[in-house]
A and B are shown apart, each in its own frame.
Chain A
Amino acid sequence: MKPSGARDRGPGLRGIAPGTAGHGPDCAPAQRPGAGWLLSAGCVLLLAAGCSSRETASKAPPPAAPAKASPLSLTRAVTIPAAVVADPARAQGSPGILTLSEGGDDELPEGPTTFDVLSDGGFVIADPLRQRLVFYDPSGQFRFDLLIHFSAERVRALPNNALSVVRYQTGERYIYQADSAGQYQPPRLATANDPDPDAADAGVAKLESRNLATVSAAPSPNSETVPVPVRFDAVGEEMVSVQRLGLDARLRTYVAIEAGFPGERVDVRTIVRKYTGQGQPLAEIADIPLDYFAHPVDEFRMRDGVLYQLMPKASEVRINMWDTNSRP
């Protein structure tokens, strides 16, 4: 199904510019069949925001588990064509090809900044140089694009096929809602009542020392949250940052750790771990490549126990996937 704004609907319908948005209940999307996972995802988000649960009974952090997480290797990768172009506004070729700029001489290369995983396992990827969002199926085949007339810094899939999109040049967040036919409506500015998956996933992360951090869901007046202790022990190496990637339906917490040797030059590796609510490490992904051609704003998404990595290269955009569900 192709929403309005899709490339093959004609130039008049390809793009939806912010500022032409409707406001209020007339923009509310209709419920779509087959969106059951979205309810699950919404539940996950609510849990991430601090819904009560048996695993959120106490504020005291549990003792760190001594057990080691079992290592996981790359499960599969999807490759999407991309090209470095000199003039993005005149870029020709298939609309399924993502766009990058060359960079160099005191300018970073630019390219796809952000992405999210859709209800059917497909992807939406921001192509900021051409001011659009591009939709792919789970195998990386192009479906359609949506001209938004600005560069997206962040995109998130919301329930009912809606999208949350942050505009890079202003920081404003827009909501694109889909109607009952799956067609995207003109955007409206997000309000405090709109779900913010980025904030929910990020929760609270604190680096306590070179080998200990804690992460937890965002504080909520309705529930208590238990910090998950994150330990890192490697000879000579120290944990230099920690990022919470989210919580799944089984209340497993996913954490990205950056680690490096002390020195004057930045040189880190990234490790992603899956934890129980009690801080027991279940799985560890350590073979994460970091040789981006253009570093995205959002490197990772976690959906249904699968870690996704957006990796823009000069001639392709890879989405690497690690399935942690074998370590539930």
Chain B
Amino acid sequence: MVHPPAPVTPAAPAPAPVTNAANAPLTRAQVIETADELSRYTWVCKEANRHAACVRGVTYESDWQPNQQVAGMPYHWGGADGREQFERKLRAGLGAGSHKRHGVNGCTAGMDCSGFVAYCWGHKSGHDFSTSTFDGLATRLTGNVYRDLKPGDALNKPGTHIVLFAGYRPDGGPIVYEASGAAGRVIRNDRVTWSRLTGYVSVRSNRLVDP
């Protein structure tokens, strides 16, 4: 008995990859757009946002004046608030920004350096990374840091600070976006020198689709 050949059934299409906020692919343009938006983000500091009731033992001095319009998401040590979350906290009367001396607290809002870079790289839920634990979401680069970086890469000094690289200036120096404690907010920094970044290493998000 000859059996007819088994019917050929077309292969089922591979299931579409599940994308979510934790692993969605990202382009360099998106990274820079997010960083730029955060550096230009305009908000108004109300009197209530100049105080932080839960900060104890150290003076909380706001970086801002009452009703001052500010460009740039406030620097908040330990924070990773996106715009919506920040605005909710502002409306709730939380303090706008804080520094390490104010400790980790629940009564101020904004983002710090690692929260900022992680947010630009698409990690927008919570502050899961520090400059010491970026290995989980980035790859260390091996090229020449002075020539080979691309916009959207980052320069990291574990335990200290991280900045998002945006390009090289005509004079050879880097252009970076950073959540700066000194500036009290997210800024685009066109004046940083390489010497200020001594000891930083270049890293690249694992989620970039145009590495």
Point out residues on A near B: beta carbons under 8 Å: 19, 86-90, 101-108, 110, 113, 128, 151, 153, 168-171, 205-207, 213, 238-243, 258, 260, 262-268, 270, 290, 295, 297, 299
User: Chain B, 177-211, contact with A by CB distance < 8 Å: what is the 0/1 string?
Assistant: 00001111100000101111111111000000000
Task: Tell me which residues across on chain B come within 8 A of A299, comparing CB atoms.
Answer: 193, 195
- The answer to whether A268 touches B198, judged by C-beta atoms less than 8 angstroms apart, is yes
Smallest CB separation, A247 vs chain B (Å):
17
A242 to B169, CA, bound (A): 10
Residue in A110, A207, A240, A295 whose CB lies within 8 Å of B181? A110
Task: Tell me which residues across on chain B come within 8 A of A243, comparing CB atoms.
Answer: 171, 173, 193
Complex A-B, nearest 10 residue pairs according to Cβ-Cβ distance, in ascending order: A207-B172, A89-B59, A241-B172, A262-B144, A205-B171, A240-B146, A107-B100, A241-B173, A295-B196, A266-B197
Point out residues on B near A: beta carbons under 8 Å: 58-59, 61, 63-65, 68, 70-71, 77, 99-101, 112-114, 130-132, 140-147, 155, 159-162, 169-173, 181-185, 191, 193-202
- The answer to whether A103 touches B193, judged by C-beta atoms less than 8 angstroms apart, is no
A181 to B185, CA, bound (A): 38
Other A-B pairs, 13, CB within 8 Å; known A106-B162, A262-B144, A266-B155: A103-B100, A103-B160, A106-B130, A106-B132, A106-B159, A113-B182, A151-B182, A151-B184, A169-B64, A240-B146, A241-B172, A266-B194, A267-B198
Q: Given the interface contacts A106-B112, A205-B170, A266-B199, does A90 sit within 8 Å of B194 by beta carbon?
A: no
- The answer to whether A105 touches B146, judged by C-beta atoms less than 8 angstroms apart, is no
Smallest CB separation, B25 vs chain A (Å):
25
A201 to B58, CA, bound (A): 40
- The answer to whether B171 touches A264, judged by C-beta atoms less than 8 angstroms apart, is no
Interface centre among A88, A239, A264, A297 (most CB of B within 10 A): A264
27 residue pairs of the A-B complex, CB under 8 angstroms, read A86-B58, A88-B59, A101-B101, A102-B101, A103-B100, A106-B77, A106-B112, A106-B130, A107-B112, A110-B182, A128-B182, A153-B182, A153-B183, A168-B183, A169-B64, A169-B185, A238-B146, A239-B172, A241-B169, A241-B193, A241-B194, A258-B195, A262-B146, A263-B144, A264-B142, A266-B200, A299-B195
Residue of A nearest to B74 (CB): A169
Smallest CB separation, B55 vs chain A (Å):
11
Smallest CB separation, A192 vs chain B (Å):
19
Q: Given the interface contacts A86-B58, A169-B64, A169-B70, does A266 sit within 8 Å of B198 by beta carbon?
A: yes
Q: Given the interface contacts A106-B112, A205-B170, does A87 sit within 8 Å of B144 by beta carbon?
A: no
